[in-house]
Amino acid sequence: MGRSIRTGLAAVWLGLLLTVPAFAAEPEALVPVGRTVGLELETDGVYVVKFDGEDRRSPAEAAGLRPGDRILAVNGQALARAVELREQLSRSDGAPVVLDVERNGKAMQFAVRPELREGRYLLGLCVRDRIAGLGTVTFYDPATGLFGALGHGVGGGDCPLVIRGGTAVETEITDVRRGEVGTPGSLLGPAVGGEALGQVERNTDRGLFGHGDAAALDGQAVPLADPAEVTAGPAEIWCGVEGSETERYTVEIEAVRFDAEHCRDLRLVVTDPRLLERTGGIVQGMSGSPILQNGKLVGAVTHVLVRDPTRGYGILIGHMLEAAEAAEAQAA
């Protein structure tokens, strides 16, 4: 489900009378999807996950690398896969290697001397070049084929992982780990191997975006809610928590604010007894579930409140569309 929110609400939700934002031009209607999918993403570069030093710092950690760093090249050779890093180290014969790294958008270089362990030269770090998990598709645009999912980025907190691409695949929910106070729940099911429903092209801090299969994602389009129309009160979310079916569940929008920086425009509480019985509230995998109010698409569920799994946050649809437009412009 994305980042866990542990901060209290008293300070966060004071002063809600903010200026209503003017979002960029957006379509008049979109299809709310609410379908749970498996997401297989390939990162652009190799990301540092953690270090494996036991009673001392590993060579990579001692050289100054940090979890979340993106390794772009070794000795000037670009990296696309983790296996390429291992190949470069095997050819180093123990000599220092120079890593080109990006950290929070800043280019850096580190010289690291590998150490010999059990016949292999290693830097003492764990890396990844791909990621997989479950999420929910928020909307589909029949006019362009664009879809959006999650409502927040994958990995990296406020600096999402840079991806080379990915696939949204068909999946079925096989079980649910219920959310409890202090422990987020999650939807369980295969994230890989299903039939492709669309190609993921961008990972932004406000969602994943790509182009999808109309036969799988298309449906009845609904108008988009203007930010000024969104109010505290009854609403519904569309999501799947069993098999491959999407159902509608009642929620209450408790507060509205405009917080594009943290993707927390809305505060929600689940009121539907069926969803509370099944999941305990909002769980990981429900990120992206479309929120509708008065027959209009408002936005998407993004986070669960860890100390109260019946509550969570959502992002306005306009903020998701702004991110999709910005990502397209940057790519162009």
Q: Is 90 exceeded by the pLDDT of residue 15?
A: no
Smallest CA-to-CA distance from 303 within 314, 292, 293 is with 314
Active-site residue list: 152, 272, 287
Query: Model confidence over 231-255: pLDDT tens digits?
Result: 999 999 999 999 989 999 999 999 9
Which class for 50: exposed (0-12), middle (13-18), buried (19 or more C-beta within 10 A)? exposed
Task: Name the pLDDT band for 220 (thresholds 50, 70, 90).
Answer: very high
* Residue 156, pLDDT score: 57
What local confidence, expressed as pLDDT, does residue 186 receive?
Answer: 94
**Token pair listed for 239:** 């999501």
Flag whether pLDDT at 108 surpasses 50: yes
Q: What is the pLDDT of residue 136?
A: 97
Which one is predicted more confidently, 138 or 263? 138
**Domains defined along the chain, listed by start:** 9-42+131-331 (2.40.10.120), 53-123 (2.30.42.10)
Buried b / exposed e over 277-314, threshold 16 CB at 10 Å, is ebbbbbbbbbbbbbbbbeebbbbbbbbbbbeebbbbbb
**Nearest alpha carbon to residue 314 among 302, 297, 304, 323:** 302
Lookup result for tokens 């791909």: 130
Can you give the pLDDT at residue 54? 64
For residue range 117-159, list pLDDT tens digits in order: 888 888 988 888 888 999 999 999 999 999 999 999 987 555 7
- Taking all residues of the chain, what is their mean pLDDT, rounded to a whole number? 87
pLDDT over 50 at 12, yes or no: no
Q: Over 70: is that where the pLDDT of 212 sits? A: yes
- For residues 293-307, give the mean pLDDT: 95
By mean pLDDT, which of 9-23, 135-149, 264-278 is the weakest?
Answer: 9-23
Tokens of 269: 């509480």
pLDDT score of 6 more than 60: no
Continuous segment of H or E residues that includes residue 239: strand 233-242
- Amino acid 293: pLDDT: 98
Q: Exposed, middle or buried: residue 25 (CB in 10 Å: 0-12, 13-18, 19+)?
A: exposed
The fraction of the chain above a pLDDT of 90, given in percent, is 63
pLDDT at 158: 58
* pLDDT of the residue at 45: 83
88-103: pLDDT as tens digits = 898 888 899 999 999 9
Query: How far is C-alpha 267 from the chain's CA centre?
Result: 18
Please, are residues 108 and 71 in contact by the beta-carbon 8 Å criterion?
A: no
Question: Is 60 exceeded by the pLDDT of residue 24?
Answer: no
Percent of residues, the chain, with pLDDT higher than 70: 90
pTM listed for this prediction: 0.82
The kind and range of the H/E element at 78 are strand 77-78
- The dihedral built from the CA positions of residue 311, 297, 159 and 14, taken in this order, carries a sign that is negative
Report the Cα–Cα distance between both ends of the chain, in Å, rounded: 30
Q: How big is the chain, counted in residues?
A: 332
Write out the DSSP string of 254-307. EEE---TTTT--EEEEE--HHHHHHHSS--BT-TT-EEEETTEEEEEEEEEETT
